[in-house]
């Protein structure tokens, strides 16, 4: 079974574009990913320390309507993403537990940088009010200036930092 | 006439069901594109695999041109579609921080979720880091609130900014994308690393 048969990138792009168009047509909004992560954290903090959540300038707005922060468009969309990715992986025989990394680095090094990358990415996404999906891709589709600036900032910065982190990948 | 859930006043659960279905399509498309592989994504920044650029720009153009066509035929009211607010300083600084996270972690949040869905352990750790990042943001919010709010420009659109019509801008973007695709195909040959790409 050939596991590397990814879809042609232009065709996959059309498919992704149609999904985004469907979100715009059906719900009047774009796609998102970091938002789903944020709502998970908001829900966790609310469950662990409700008082802290209600007093915080940041969390309190998510508890105003008295409903769970996970009963939310983005959170539901992210649950769907996991199912969609799983179906795709099952159809293309790519379901497998593994740590993906360059053979030149150790598992621990890969996982350490994966963790740090996650901390940086989502911190930046909260500041910029969206990530590659919610700000850059969805923003560009509605011609938002924020979308184009986010796209240029993410990719421009990644190209510069790529020089420093070369040994992680090649 | 769209957006359907806004104009038809559907109950909330229908909108949430739509969100779940859109998510299935989103996750499926990302995984099929190969975005569940960090080494494939990282290839974008070393030139050996430019799938990211091809998928990203094709998708943006399909949604952009598609929504304008729907609007032209009176099927979609674009004024009711969410436009991201532009907080200039936060967008630029946040974008730079995200770029650093991208090359360290090998994923962005969406591709990380896609990779987790097929069992990548590194993606699980990336997303765990992401939750820590969101938590740190919330806890440090009082200190960075000024940066987060500075130079607010509202939900500004390209045509107000550049003074050209959406149609002309879309056309320019399509031409630019085709030029980038051509460059990307060349880059993949020039910076080819078969020891990595045959492994993906």
pLDDT digits (tens, 9 = 90+) for A69-94: 899 999 999 999 999 999 999 999 99
Cβ contacts of A47 on chain B, cutoff 8 Å: none
User: Cα–chain-centroid distance for residue B155?
Assistant: 17
Verify whether the Cβ–Cβ distance A120 to B104 is below 8 Å.
Answer: yes
Return d(Cα B123, Cα B104) in angstroms, integer: 12
Verify whether the Cβ–Cβ distance B33 to A117 is below 8 Å.
Answer: no
User: Which residues 46-75 of B have a C-beta within 8 angstroms of A?
Assistant: 46, 48, 51, 54-64, 66-67, 70, 75
Q: CB–CB of B5/A26 below 8 Å?
A: yes
Q: What is the mean pLDDT of chain A?
A: 94
Residues B5-49 pLDDT 10s: 888 888 889 999 999 999 999 999 999 999 999 999 999 999 999
Residues B144-198 pLDDT 10s: 999 999 999 999 999 889 999 999 999 999 999 999 999 999 999 999 999 898 8
Q: CA-CA distances (angstroms) from residue A11 to A18, B36, B129, B171?
A: 11, 17, 32, 20
User: A160, exposed or middle or buried, with CB in 10 Å at 0-12, 13-18, 19+?
Assistant: middle
Q: What is the mean pLDDT of chain B?
A: 95
Return d(Cα A164, Cα B12) in angstroms, integer: 47
Reference A31, options B63, B55, B71, B85; nearest CA is B63
User: Which residues 135-164 of B have a C-beta within 8 angstroms of A?
Assistant: 135-139, 141-142, 144-145, 147-148, 153, 155-159, 161
Hey, how many other C-beta atoms are within 10 angstroms of the C-beta on B19? 24
Q: CA-CA distances (angstroms) from residue B30 to A9, B56, B59?
A: 10, 10, 11
Return d(Cα B42, Cα B31) in angstroms, integer: 15
SS3 B110: helix
Q: CA-CA distances (angstroms) from residue A149 to A26, A115, B7, B14?
A: 26, 26, 31, 33
Q: Return the domain boundaries, chain A.
A: 98-170
SS3 B199: coil
**Host H or E run for residue B54:** helix B51-72
pLDDT string in tens for chain A (170-residue length): 455 589 999 999 999 999 999 999 999 999 999 999 999 999 999 999 999 999 888 899 898 888 888 999 999 999 999 999 999 999 999 999 999 999 999 999 999 999 999 999 999 999 999 999 999 999 999 999 999 999 999 999 999 999 999 999 99
HEC profile for chain A?
A: CCCCCCCCHHHHHHHHHHHHHHHHHHHCCCCCCHHHHHHHHHHHHHHHCHHHHHHCCCCHHHCCCCCCCCCCHHHHHHHHHHHHHHHHHHHCCCCCCECCCCCCCCHHHHHHHHHHHHHHHHHHHHHHCCCHHHHHHHHHHCCEHHHHHHHHHHHHHHHHHHHHCHHHHC
């Amino acid at each position: 079974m050939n596991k590397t048969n990814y879809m042609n990138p232009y065709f996959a792009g059309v498919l992704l574009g149609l999904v985004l168009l469907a979100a715009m047509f059906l719900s009047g909004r774009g796609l998102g990913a970091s938002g789903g992560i944020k709502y998970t954290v908001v829900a966790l903090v609310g469950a662990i320390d409700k008082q802290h959540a209600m007093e915080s300038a940041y969390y309190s707005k998510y508890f105003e309507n008295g409903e769970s922060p996970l009963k939310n468009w983005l959170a539901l969309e992210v649950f769907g993403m996991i199912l969609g990715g799983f179906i795709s992986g099952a159809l293309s025989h790519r379901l497998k537990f593994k740590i993906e990394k360059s053979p030149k680095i150790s598992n621990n090094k890969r996982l350490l940088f994966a963790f740090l990358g996650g901390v940086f990415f989502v911190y930046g996404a909260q500041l910029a009010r969206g990530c590659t999906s919610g700000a850059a891709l969805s923003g560009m589709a509605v011609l938002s200036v924020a979308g184009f600036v986010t796209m240029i900032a993410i990719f421009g910065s990644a190209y510069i930092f790529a020089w420093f982190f070369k040994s992680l990948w090649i | 006439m769209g957006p359907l859930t806004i104009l038809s006043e559907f109950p909330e659960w229908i909108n949430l069901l739509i969100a779940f279905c859109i998510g299935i399509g989103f996750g499926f498309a990302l995984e099929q594109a190969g975005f569940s592989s960090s080494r494939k994504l990282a290839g974008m920044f070393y030139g050996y695999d430019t799938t990211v650029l091809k998928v990203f720009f094709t998708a943006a153009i399909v949604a952009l041109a598609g929504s304008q066509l729907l609007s032209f035929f009176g099927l979609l009211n674009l004024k009711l579609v969410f436009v991201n607010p532009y907080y200039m300083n936060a967008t630029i600084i946040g974008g730079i921080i995200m770029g650093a996270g991208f090359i360290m972690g090998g994923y962005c949040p969406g591709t990380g979720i896609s990779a987790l869905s097929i069992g990548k352990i590194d993606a699980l750790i990336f997303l765990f880091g992401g939750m820590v990042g969101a938590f740190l943001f919330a806890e440090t919010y009082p200190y960075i609130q000024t940066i987060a709010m500075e130079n607010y420009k509202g939900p500004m659109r390209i045509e107000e900014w550049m003074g050209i019509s959406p149609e002309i801008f879309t056309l320019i973007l399509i031409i630019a994308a085709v030029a980038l695709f051509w460059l990307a195909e060349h880059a993949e040959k020039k910076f080819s690393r078969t020891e990595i790409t045959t492994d993906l």
